[in-house]
Chains A and B, each alone.
Chain A
Amino acid sequence: MDHFLTEEQEMLKELCAQIAREKILPMREELDESGEFPWEIVKVLAESDIYGVYIPEEYGGFGGGAFEMCIATEELSKVCGGISLAFAASALGAYPILLFGSDEQKRKYLPPLAAGEKLAAFALTEANAGSDAGAIETRAELDGDEYVINGTKQWITNGGEADIYSVIVRTKKSAGLRGISALIVEKDTPGLTFGKRENKMGIRASTTRELIFQDCRVPKENLLGREGMGFMVAMRTFDKSRPGVASQAVGIAQGALDEAVRYARHREQFGQPVASFQAIQFMIADMATQIEAARSLVYSAARLVDSGAKDVGKASAMAKVFASDVAMKVTVDAVQILGGYGYMKEYPVEKMMRDAKITQIYEGTNQIQRSIIGSAVIKESAAEERKGK
């Protein structure tokens, strides 16, 4: 289907596809097995300017938006949904600075991120605060010109690998969501150490790690926006980044479909390719249709985000929830089409199935997405009623 990409977007897509094919494909199996961070790929992506895709030109980027981010993430994820995160997770960490940073903060942090010389990470989740972001316990107390941070962040993508962390902290004990703020913490700040590296089911080439803050002091200039804006920083960041996760899901699904179709064309049973059986054809038809529907929704949401529209939460959530559910369903079906071979590590579809699962969970579980969508729809209805219809 034609999504009317501009010439520049086509160029970006073509380049990311080339990187995926020539550089990521030969490494994905090994990195999935070892769980090592793909520094070699990071270097390739950096040299190809991919890290700057969503960063404005004045900070050394390509000047694209969420849509360009989606194109890149989708292409990389077609081959490996884990390695693509080394790129996408850095964007997640950079968005708070891009959205709420002062000019000075942007000039300091964005150029090295755009060049891929440094990676970023976003730190919100804690052991007792997942979907309930208001429950975070990591504290930051102002002491003179510095914030002193104490607490532990959990499951931080790019943790330990990234140089720049956007950390959501509690600056007021009792004020609930209003007591939350966002701080930039650099990797080599004393008092910041990295804990357990998680052994995950999927996206294994991506590092997921604890951030441990013990009297970690950062200058108060590192505050993003004002005190108390932390929850807003997180939510706006997610509004921007969710189409990215959604496009990771679309990429994984497309990669699995491509594998399944190729296999079905070549695998012969009862003297003919299994692709000639209607049972398989119908599965392929449904998979392809669902992916295309997901892609269209993701692209629409990304374009809405880039249009500068004020309220994009519902569209972003819809894209994320739909695309990730499609990714899960399609990868399960791809394994089914490959049968016994699909279950074996020799073929990549079982990996794609493992990778797909996380897209339903992180950056807001699909249950949280549905409650965002549900309450937005109900609110809209109420507002219309108020207008007197």
Chain B
Amino acid sequence: MNVLVLIKQVPDTTDVRIDRETNTLIREGVPSIINPFDTYAIEEGLRLRESAGGGTVTVMSMGPPQVEGALREALALGVDDAILLSDRAFAGSDTWATSYTLAAGIRKRGEFDVVLCGKQAIDGDTAQVGPGVAKLLGIPQVAYVRKLTLDGKRCIAERMMEDGSDVLGVPLPALFTVVKEINEPRLPSLKGKMKAKKAEITVWGVSDLEVDDSEIGLDGSPTRVKTIFAPELRTNGIVFQGEVDETVPLLVKELVPILKTEI
């Protein structure tokens, strides 16, 4: 069983604050972490390798050189090897170009039975790269998987929907995106951490991949960011101050029409 896990390094967004004076993000001291959903994908990869009784788990990521840190964290968990797709030419990729580049990386890596991703990344929240990669590789996909079991040459996947679960039989190779209900990720081991520190990480740039220059990076991205702005705060709200018997009736007067007409 050869498993490929796609991971992303993200800023720990719960810590990101915006500076209202300058309308810019305060990034100081915001740590970079493995996208939390991807940690479940890594764990599931390790479990698949264990239940299949052998094989390899490879993590792959696309991004600037500092993503190496995230890959080493994955190696410390027991992943066999790590590949980083890194090149200035990949800069500005939207989800289309990212899917395209990752699919090229997976093709170069060669044989795999299962590709795993987290359901989405917490910085972009798009959930688009997994299905995009599956389509580009021409393999079936199941998103939002909460349970995955090996069943001979195929996998039985439980897909989490709003009202329950769809149970699906999936021939391999296939791609799955996983939700956090699927498992409880393990912690690294000391030996794993030591090994990860010394491990060699394969880095592939644009010349290592079979890609069309016009399909990667900003040029290969159909979407463009037009503007970025801070969400408006309502500054013209009405605030009532005073005794309760004055303020409450004023608020009720405003709320009653809303409750009667809008809801």
Kindly identify, within residues 179 to 202 of chain B, every residue whose CB is under 8 Å from any CB belonging to chain A.
Answer: 186-194, 197
Tell me which of A11, A22, A52 contacts B187 (CB under 8 A): A22
Task: Give bound CA distance, A316 to B187, whole Å.
Answer: 33
Task: Give bound CA distance, A48 to B189, whole Å.
Answer: 4
Tell me which of B186, B187, B197 contacts A15 (CB under 8 A): B187
Chain A: residues with Cβ within 8 Å of the partner, total of 17
Interface size on B, as a range, is: 10 to 19
| Additional pairs, 11, CB under 8 Å, beyond known A11-B190, A15-B190 | A8-B194, A11-B193, A11-B194, A11-B197, A18-B187, A47-B187, A48-B188, A48-B189, A52-B190, A53-B190, A62-B191
A-B contact pairs, 11 of them (CB 8 A): A11-B190, A11-B194, A11-B197, A15-B188, A15-B193, A18-B187, A22-B187, A48-B187, A49-B189, A53-B190, A62-B191
Chain B nearest CB, measured from A17 CB (Å): 11
Task: Give bound CA distance, A19 to B190, whole Å.
Answer: 12
Asked if A361 lies at the interface with its beta carbon under 8 angstroms from chain B, I say: no
Q: Name which residue of chain B comes closest to A8, CB basis.
A: B194
Asked if A275 lies at the interface with its beta carbon under 8 angstroms from chain B, I say: no
Chain A nearest CB, measured from B23 CB (Å): 29
B residues apposed to A, CB below 8 Å: 186-194, 197
Task: Give bound CA distance, A19 to B192, whole Å.
Answer: 15
Q: Name which residue of chain B comes closest to A44, CB basis.
A: B187
A47 touches B186 (CB 8 A): yes
- Residues in B whose Cβ lies below 8 Å from that of A23: 187
Asked if A140 lies at the interface with its beta carbon under 8 angstroms from chain B, I say: no
Chain B nearest CB, measured from A34 CB (Å): 21
- Residues in A whose Cβ lies below 8 Å from that of B192: 49
B197 touches A19 (CB 8 A): no
Q: A1-35: contact bitstring with B at CB < 8 Å (1 yes, 0 no)?
A: 00000011001100100110011000000000000
Task: Give bound CA distance, A53 to B189, whole Å.
Answer: 11
- Residues in B whose Cβ lies below 8 Å from that of A44: 187
A12 touches B187 (CB 8 A): no
Chain A nearest CB, measured from B69 CB (Å): 13
Q: Name which residue of chain A comes closest to B196, CB basis.
A: A11
- Residues in B whose Cβ lies below 8 Å from that of A86: none
Chain B nearest CB, measured from A312 CB (Å): 26
- Residues in A whose Cβ lies below 8 Å from that of B191: 49, 62
- Residues in B whose Cβ lies below 8 Å from that of A50: 190
- Residues in A whose Cβ lies below 8 Å from that of B186: 47
- Residues in A whose Cβ lies below 8 Å from that of B193: 11, 15
Q: Name which residue of chain B comes closest to A48, CB basis.
A: B189
**Known contacts A8-B194, A11-B194; A19 and B189 CB within 8 A of each other:** no
Chain B nearest CB, measured from A26 CB (Å): 12
Task: Give bound CA distance, A53 to B197, whole Å.
Answer: 18
Chain A nearest CB, measured from B184 CB (Å): 10
Chain A nearest CB, measured from B139 CB (Å): 33
- Residues in B whose Cβ lies below 8 Å from that of A48: 187-190
- Residues in A whose Cβ lies below 8 Å from that of B188: 15, 18, 48
Task: Give bound CA distance, A45 to B248, whole Å.
Answer: 56
A47 touches B189 (CB 8 A): yes
Task: Give bound CA distance, A374 to B189, whole Å.
Answer: 42
Q: Name which residue of chain B comes closest to A19, CB basis.
A: B187
Task: Give bound CA distance, A333 to B189, whole Å.
Answer: 36
Chain B nearest CB, measured from A311 CB (Å): 31
Q: Considering residues A11, A12, A18, A22, which has the most beta carbons from chain B within 10 angstroms of its beta carbon?
A: A11
Task: Give bound CA distance, A22 to B193, whole Å.
Answer: 17
Kindly identify, within residues 36 to 53 of chain A, every residue whose CB is under 8 Å from any CB belonging to chain B.
Answer: 44, 47-50, 52-53
Task: Give bound CA distance, A12 to B186, whole Å.
Answer: 16
Task: Give bound CA distance, A8 to B195, whole Å.
Answer: 11
Q: Name which residue of chain A comes closest to B78, CB basis.
A: A47
Task: Give bound CA distance, A48 to B187, whole Å.
Answer: 7
Q: Name which residue of chain A comes closest to B190, CB basis.
A: A49
Task: Give bound CA distance, A290 to B190, whole Å.
Answer: 31
Task: Give bound CA distance, A23 to B188, whole Å.
Answer: 13
Task: Give bound CA distance, A49 to B191, whole Å.
Answer: 7
Task: Give bound CA distance, A15 to B76, whole Å.
Answer: 11
Task: Give bound CA distance, A132 to B28, whole Å.
Answer: 58
Chain B nearest CB, measured from A51 CB (Å): 10
Chain B nearest CB, measured from A91 CB (Å): 15
Task: Give bound CA distance, A7 to B187, whole Å.
Answer: 19
Q: Considering residues B188, B191, B197, which has the most beta carbons from chain A within 10 angstroms of its beta carbon?
A: B188
Task: Give bound CA distance, A22 to B186, whole Å.
Answer: 11
Q: Considering residues B190, B191, B193, B194, which has the most beta carbons from chain A within 10 angstroms of its beta carbon?
A: B190
Task: Give bound CA distance, A301 to B197, whole Å.
Answer: 30
Task: Give bound CA distance, A48 to B105, whole Å.
Answer: 31
Task: Give bound CA distance, A47 to B185, whole Å.
Answer: 12
Task: Give bound CA distance, A49 to B197, whole Å.
Answer: 16
Task: Give bound CA distance, A49 to B187, whole Å.
Answer: 11
Task: Give bound CA distance, A19 to B186, whole Å.
Answer: 10
Q: Name which residue of chain B comes closest to A22, CB basis.
A: B187
Task: Give bound CA distance, A187 to B192, whole Å.
Answer: 31
Chain B nearest CB, measured from A50 CB (Å): 7
Task: Give bound CA distance, A273 to B10, whole Å.
Answer: 35
Task: Give bound CA distance, A47 to B191, whole Å.
Answer: 10
- Residues in B whose Cβ lies below 8 Å from that of A53: 190
Kindly identify, within residues 304 to 349 of chain A, every residue whose CB is under 8 Å from any CB belonging to chain B.
Answer: none
Task: Give bound CA distance, A15 to B192, whole Å.
Answer: 11
B190 touches A12 (CB 8 A): yes
Task: Give bound CA distance, A44 to B190, whole Å.
Answer: 12
Task: Give bound CA distance, A22 to B191, whole Å.
Answer: 19
- Residues in B whose Cβ lies below 8 Å from that of A11: 190, 193-194, 197
Chain B nearest CB, measured from A373 CB (Å): 34
- Residues in A whose Cβ lies below 8 Å from that of B187: 15, 18-19, 22-23, 44, 47-48
